[in-house]
C-alpha cells in the first residue's frame, strides 16, 4: 500500500508539520489556530510512534499508561467537546460556514492516526499527513480544500478497502491476536497496547474476568464456540471446509477471547480479529462498530460524524468503492472461500445514548440516501459471491460490563445462567407454541397498559403438517441465549400499528416508538425523542429513517417472533436494566417484529429443520423471492428487531382458517397448554 519512499515521506511530512505547530504562517488567525492545534496533535503522535518503536511504553506503570491514553482522547471527551475542532458546531463558529465542516472532518480523520501509530501503519499515516499539509497550503480556499479531501478519499479508497478485507479474511493479520495470546493478561497494562480509549469500565471488566475460575471461563468459551459449530450443523453446512472465524468483541474480555481462540482451534478454525474502522472510507454506513473496540470517548462526537461520508459520497465514488471491493475479494478469493463468518460478543451495561440533533453535522441528501441503498445492495452481493451465504454461519452472545453498576458480578452470573438455560426444556415448550402457530391464518398482537400495538400478522400456510412448519424453534446455537420461535411472515395482509414505550435500537434509545404497516411494509413512523424541540417530530422521523430504515423510504417486515425467555425478562426487571440490555436478549423477552430482510437472507435455498425433523418452509417472503428474477430488489441488508415487553402485551392470539381463536399470551402471561411453565420465572 503506497510503498514508495515511505520513511522519507514520513520524515519530510513530519518536519513540515512540526514547523506549522510552532508557527503557522497564515494571516487568518482563526485558521492559524486550527492548523497549529492539529499540527501539535500530530507532533504528539509522532513522539508516541517513536516511543512505541523504541519499546519505551513497556516500562510505564498502569497509572502512566492511563494518563497517556487519556491525553490522546481528551480533546473529544464530553467535558471538552464544546471547544474541540472535532465538534462541527465549534469548528464552523471558529472557521466559518464554508471551511468549518471540512476541517472538522479532516481533524476527525487525523484523530484516527492514534490507532495507526499503535499498529505501525506508516503508509496510512503518511497519506493523512500529506493531506493535512496540502489543505494547510490551500489556506481559505474552501472549494480547493474540499476537492483535495475528495481526491484523497477517492485515490486511497482502493488500498484502504483492500486492507480492510484482508483484515477480515487473513489470520496472519494478527495485531490483536498476538496481544491476546502473548500478553500476561493479569497485568492490565496490556489493555493499552490496543490504542483504544480505556476507562475504569474496561479495567474493572478485565479484572473480574481474571477472577473467574478456569472452569467458568472454559464453559463460557465452549458455549460460544459450540453455538457457532451448531449453526453449521443445523443448517447442513460443512464446517470442515472452513479455516477462519472472525471474532468481534469489546476490550476487557481478552481472557475469555483467548479461551475461545483455543476452542475454535479444536474445530480447525483460526481467528481473524480486526479493529472497528476509524477512517471514514471503511466505517459502516450505519455507524455501528464492527470489529474490536474500546470505550467511546464521547457518543455525541461519534453520532455527529456518522454521516461524514456525505462530504464525498457521489455516484463516481460509489462505483469506485464497489470496484475496489470486487477487486479485493477477487484478490483474496481463496481466503474468502474458507472463511466461516463472524462470532460476535456484544456487551451491555452503559446508559442508553439519546443523541442531540446537531444541525451543523454532515447529513446525507435525498440523492445520497438513494446512493447508500444502491451501494449497500451491490456491496452485499459482492460479499455473498465470495463468502457464500449458503456456506457460512455465525454466532452471537452478550455479557454485561462493569459499567452496569454495583450489581455487576450478580448480573454477570445471571447472564451466564440465561445463556445456558435448559435446551431440552425449551425445545419441548416451544414445540407447543409452534404447533399452535402452524394452524394460523394470521396472528393478532395487541398491547395493554398504554401500549397501542394492534397488529395482524399473516402466516404462511402449512400444507403437510407432518413434515412442514413455518416457525423455527430457536435454541442456543447461532443466537444465544435461547428462547424464541420466529417466522418470515406473509407480507400481504400483515397490517397494523406497532408501538413500544422505550426500545434500544442500533445503539440509540427510541422513546414511544410507533410504526405503521400496510401489507407488510412500513408506511409511517414516529418517536418522542425530540418532542420538546422545534421540529421534534421530523427530527425523530429522520433518526428512525437513518438508523432503522437505513435511509430506505420503506422496508418490509422480515420477521415475526414470540420470545419465551421469561427468566431473562425477570432478571432484567429485578435489576432494573431492561433499558440497558442489547436486542439480542431483549428480543427473547416478548414478541418482536424485525424490519428489513428475513432471518434466512441469502440462504433461502438451504433447507432448515427443527429438532423434531420438520422442514421450516417460510424462508422466503414476497420480497426475498425476487432474488430469482430481480436480485437488486430482493434484499435490503438490514434487520432490526423491535420487541414489546411482556407487561405491555394484552394478547397474542392465533386465528385459524375456520375462525377459531387460541391465545398464546394473555395479559403478559403464557396461557397456551404446555407453556405454563414459562410463568414460573414471574412467580419465583
DSSP assignment string, 618-659: ----TTGGGGGT-GGGT--S-EEEEE--GGGEEEEEEEETTS
> Cα(319)–Cα(316) distance, rounded to whole angstroms?
5
Query: Using one digit for the tens of pLDDT, what is the confidence trace for 259-283?
Result: 999 999 999 999 999 999 999 999 9
Average pLDDT over residues 390-396: 92
Query: Using one digit for the tens of pLDDT, what is the confidence trace for 14-29?
Result: 999 999 999 998 999 9
Residues 6+ apart with CB under 8 A from 368: 310, 313, 314
Residue 589, φ and ψ in degrees, nearest 5: -105, 30
Better-predicted residue by pLDDT, 234 or 402: 402
Q: Residue 439: pLDDT above 70?
A: yes
The phi-psi region of residue 282 (left if phi > 0; otherwise alpha if psi is between -120 and 50; otherwise beta) is: alpha
Better-predicted residue by pLDDT, 631 or 41: 41
Average pLDDT over residues 481-503: 95
pLDDT of residue 253: 98
- Using an 8 Å Cβ cutoff, are 99 and 32 in contact? no
Average pLDDT over residues 41-61: 97
Question: Given pLDDT bands bounded at 50, 70 and 90, which one contains residue 417?
Answer: very high
- Using an 8 Å Cβ cutoff, are 675 and 470 in contact? no
Query: Using one digit for the tens of pLDDT, what is the confidence trace for 195-253?
Result: 999 999 999 999 999 999 999 999 999 999 999 999 898 888 999 999 999 999 999 99
- Using an 8 Å Cβ cutoff, are 593 and 560 in contact? yes
Better-predicted residue by pLDDT, 678 or 1: 678
Query: Using one digit for the tens of pLDDT, what is the confidence trace for 543-582?
Result: 999 889 988 999 999 999 999 999 999 999 999 998 788 8
- Using an 8 Å Cβ cutoff, are 635 and 380 in contact? yes
Question: Given pLDDT bands bounded at 50, 70 and 90, which one contains residue 4?
Answer: low
The DSSP bridge partners found for residue 649 are: 447
Average pLDDT over residues 511-535: 94
- Using an 8 Å Cβ cutoff, are 358 and 89 in contact? yes
User: Pairing state of beta strands 649-656 and 440-447?
Assistant: antiparallel
SS3 (DSSP) at 435:
helix
C-alpha cell at 436: 399452535
Question: Nearest Cα to 289, choosing from 221, 343, 346?
Answer: 346
SS3 (DSSP) at 410:
helix
pLDDT of residue 1: 46
Average pLDDT of the chain is 94
| Three-state SS annotation for 384-399 | HHHCCCCCCCCEEEEE
Question: Nearest Cα to 447, choosing from 455, 439, 459, 456?
Answer: 455
> Cα(232)–Cα(268) distance, rounded to whole angstroms?
14
Percentage of the chain lying above the pLDDT 70 cut: 99
Residue 29, φ and ψ in degrees, nearest 5: -65, -35
Q: Residue 57: pLDDT above 80?
A: yes
Query: Using one digit for the tens of pLDDT, what is the confidence trace for 493-513?
Result: 999 999 999 888 877 889 999
> Cα(622)–Cα(632) distance, rounded to whole angstroms?
14
Residue 633, φ and ψ in degrees, nearest 5: -105, 0
Give the up-direction half-sphere exposure of residue 627: CA atoms within 13 A in the CB hemisphere: 19
- Using an 8 Å Cβ cutoff, are 451 and 485 in contact? no
pLDDT of residue 3: 53
Domains of the chain, start order: 6-140 (no CATH), 175-395 (3.40.1830), 421-506+514-522+559-683 (no CATH)
- Using an 8 Å Cβ cutoff, are 433 and 664 in contact? yes
Question: Nearest Cα to 675, choosing from 440, 426, 418, 422?
Answer: 426
- Using an 8 Å Cβ cutoff, are 160 and 124 in contact? yes
Sign of CA dihedral 380, 381, 387, 391: positive
Burial class (CB in 10 A: 0-12, 13-18, 19+), 360: middle
User: Pairing state of beta strands 339-348 and 395-400?
Assistant: parallel
C-alpha cell at 659: 375462525
Percentage of the chain lying above the pLDDT 90 cut: 82
Residue 506, φ and ψ in degrees, nearest 5: 50, 50
DSSP assignment string, 571-590: HHHHTT-GGGS-HHHHTTSS
Angle, nearest 10°, between helix axes 142-169 and 97-111?
Answer: 30
The DSSP bridge partners found for residue 343 are: 247, 395
Give the distance, in angstroms, between the CA of residue 584 and the centroid of all CA atoms in the same chain. 12
SS3 (DSSP) at 297:
coil
Question: Given pLDDT bands bounded at 50, 70 and 90, which one contains residue 74?
Answer: very high
User: Pairing state of beta strands 591-596 and 395-400?
Assistant: unpaired
Amino acid at each position: 500500500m503506497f510503498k514508495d519512499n515511505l520513511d522519507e515521506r514520513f520524515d519530510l511530512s513530519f518536519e513540515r508539520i512540526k514547523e506549522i505547530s510552532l508557527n503557522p504562517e497564515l494571516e487568518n488567525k482563526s485558521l492559524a489556530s486550527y492548523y497549529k492545534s492539529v499540527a501539535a496533535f500530530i507532533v504528539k503522535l509522532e513522539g508516541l510512534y517513536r516511543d512505541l518503536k523504541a519499546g519505551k511504553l513497556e516500562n510505564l506503570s498502569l497509572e502512566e499508561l492511563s494518563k497517556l491514553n487519556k491525553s490522546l482522547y481528551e480533546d473529544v471527551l464530553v467535558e471538552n467537546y464544546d471547544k474541540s475542532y472535532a465538534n462541527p458546531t465549534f469548528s464552523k463558529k471558529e472557521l466559518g460556514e464554508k471551511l468549518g465542516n471540512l476541517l472538522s472532518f479532516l481533524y476527525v480523520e487525523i484523530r484516527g492516526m492514534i490507532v495507526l501509530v499503535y499498529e505501525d501503519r506508516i503508509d496510512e499515516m503518511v497519506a493523512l499527513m500529506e493531506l493535512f499539509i496540502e489543505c494547510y497550503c490551500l489556506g481559505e480556499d474552501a472549494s480547493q480544500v474540499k476537492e483535495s479531501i475528495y481526491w484523497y478519499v477517492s485515490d486511497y479508497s482502493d488500498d484502504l478497502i483492500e486492507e480492510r478485507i484482508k483484515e477480515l479474511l487473513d489470520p496472519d493479520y494478527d495485531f490483536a491476536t498476538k496481544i491476546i495470546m502473548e500478553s500476561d493478561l493479569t497485568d492490565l497494562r496490556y489493555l493499552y497496547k490496543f490504542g483504544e480509549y480505556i476507562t475504569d469500565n474496561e479495567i474493572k471488566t478485565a479484572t473480574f474476568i481474571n477472577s473467574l475460575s478456569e472452569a467458568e471461563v472454559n464453559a463460557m468459551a465452549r458455549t460460544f464456540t459450540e453455538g457457532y459449530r451448531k449453526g453449521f450443523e443445523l443448517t447442513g453446512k460443512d464446517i470442515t471446509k472452513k479455516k477462519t472465524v472472525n471474532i468481534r468483541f469489546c476490550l476487557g474480555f481478552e481472557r475469555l477471547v483467548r479461551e475461545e481462540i483455543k476452542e475454535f482451534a479444536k474445530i480447525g478454525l483460526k481467528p481473524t480479529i480486526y479493529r472497528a474502522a476509524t477512517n471514514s472510507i471503511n466505517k459502516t454506513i450505519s455507524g455501528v462498530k464492527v470489529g474490536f473496540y474500546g470505550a467511546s470517548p464521547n457518543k455525541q462526537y461519534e453520532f455527529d460524524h456518522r454521516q461524514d461520508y456525505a462530504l464525498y459520497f457521489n455516484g463516481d465514488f460509489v462505483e469506485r468503492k464497489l470496484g475496489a471491493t470486487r477487486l479485493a475479494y477477487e484478490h483474496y478469493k481463496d481466503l474468502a472461500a474458507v472463511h466461516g463468518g463472524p462470532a460476535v460478543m456484544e456487551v451491555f451495561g452503559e446508559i442508553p445514548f439519546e443523541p442531540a440533533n446537531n444541525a451543523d453535522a454532515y447529513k446525507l441528501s435525498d440523492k445520497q440516501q438513494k446512493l447508500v441503498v444502491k451501494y449497500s445492495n451491490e456491496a452485499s452481493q459482492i460479499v455473498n459471491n465470495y463468502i457464500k451465504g449458503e456456506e457460512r454461519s455465525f454466532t452471537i452472545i452478550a455479557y454485561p460490563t462493569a459499567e452496569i453498576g454495583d450489581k455487576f458480578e450478580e448480573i454477570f452470573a445471571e447472564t451466564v445462567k440465561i445463556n445456558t438455560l435448559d435446551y431440552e426444556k425449551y425445545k419441548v415448550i416451544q414445540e407447543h407454541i409452534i404447533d399452535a402457530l402452524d394452524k394460523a391464518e394470521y396472528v393478532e398482537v395487541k398491547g395493554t397498559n398504554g401500549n397501542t400495538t394492534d397488529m395482524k400478522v399473516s402466516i404462511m400456510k402449512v400444507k403437510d403438517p407432518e413434515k412442514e412448519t413455518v416457525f423455527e424453534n430457536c435454541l442456543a446455537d447461532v443466537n444465544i441465549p435461547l428462547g424464541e420461535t420466529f417466522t418470515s411472515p406473509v407480507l400481504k395482509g400483515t397490517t397494523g400499528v406497532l408501538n413500544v414505550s422505550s426500545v434500544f435500537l442500533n445503539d440509540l434509545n427510541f422513546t414511544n416508538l410507533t410504526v405503521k404497516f400496510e401489507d407488510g411494509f412500513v408506511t409511517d413512523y414516529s418517536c418522542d425523542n425530540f418532542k420538546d424541540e422545534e421540529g421534534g417530530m421530523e427530527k425523530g422521523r429522520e433518526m428512525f429513517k437513518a438508523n432503522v430504515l437505513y435511509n430506505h423510504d420503506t422496508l418490509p417486515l422480515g420477521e415475526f417472533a414470540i420470545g419465551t425467555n421469561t427468566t431473562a425478562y425477570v432478571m432484567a426487571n429485578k435489576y432494573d436494566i431492561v433499558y440497558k440490555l442489547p436486542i439480542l436478549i431483549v428480543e427473547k423477552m416478548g414478541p418482536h417484529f424485525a424490519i428489513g430482510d428475513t432471518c434466512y437472507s441469502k440462504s433461502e435455498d438451504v433447507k432448515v429443520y427443527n429438532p423434531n425433523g420438520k422442514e421450516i418452509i417460510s424462508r422466503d417472503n414476497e420480497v426475498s423471492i425476487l432474488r430469482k428474477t430481480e436480485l437488486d430488489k430482493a434484499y435490503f441488508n438490514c434487520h432490526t428487531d423491535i420487541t414489546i415487553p411482556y407487561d405491555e402485551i394484552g394478547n397474542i392470539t392465533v386465528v385459524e382458517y375456520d375462525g377459531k381463536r387460541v391465545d398464546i399470551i394473555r395479559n403478559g402471561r403464557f396461557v397456551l397448554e404446555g407453556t405454563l411453565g414459562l410463568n414460573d420465572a414471574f412467580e419465583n
